[in-house]
Structure 1
Amino acid sequence: MDMDGMGAGGMMIGMLIWGLLGLVLLALAIVATIWLIRGLTGRGEPGTSETPDDILRRRYASGELDEDEYLSRRAGLRD
C-alpha cells in the first residue's frame, strides 16, 4: 500500500491525470511557439503580402504616381 492509502488504482489515476496535464501543457507550448513565430515573421496572415504590382497600383490610385510614371514602372516590372 502507498502512503496515502489509495492503493494501486488511486496511484494509477493520479499518474494518468498528471500525464494528461503534461500533454496539455506541451500542446499549449507548441501552439504558443507557432503563434509567436508567425507573429514575429508576419506570416500566417492571409492577404498581408503585397506583390510589386499591388504596390504599384496602390501608389497610382493614391496619386503618388502619375500615369506616365505608373506605365513606365509597370513596363519595367513586366520585363
Structure 2
Amino acid sequence: MLIYIVRIRLEIEVKTVRFFLTFFWTLLLINMTSYVVNSMTGGHYDFASASILSVVATLVIFLIAKVIPIETAVEPEHH
C-alpha cells in the first residue's frame, strides 16, 4: 500500500516538473527570440506579449504530446 502511494506521488511530481521545465524553456526561448527579432527589425521588445505567446506555445506543446500516440518498443524474437 505504501509503495503504491509513493509511486502515485512520484508520478504527480514528475508531471509537475515536466510542465514547469517545458514552460521555463519555452518562456526563455520565446522571449529571447522576440528580443532578437524586434532588435533586428527596429521594433520594441515587449515582455508581456512574448510571455503570453510562451504560455500559448506551452499549451500547444502539451496538446501535441497528448495527441501523438505512444509507441512501445517491440522486443525482437530470439530463435
TM-score when normalising by structure 2 = 0.45
Q: Which has the higher helix share?
A: 2
Which one has the largest radius of gyration? 1
TM-score, normalisation: structure 1: 0.45
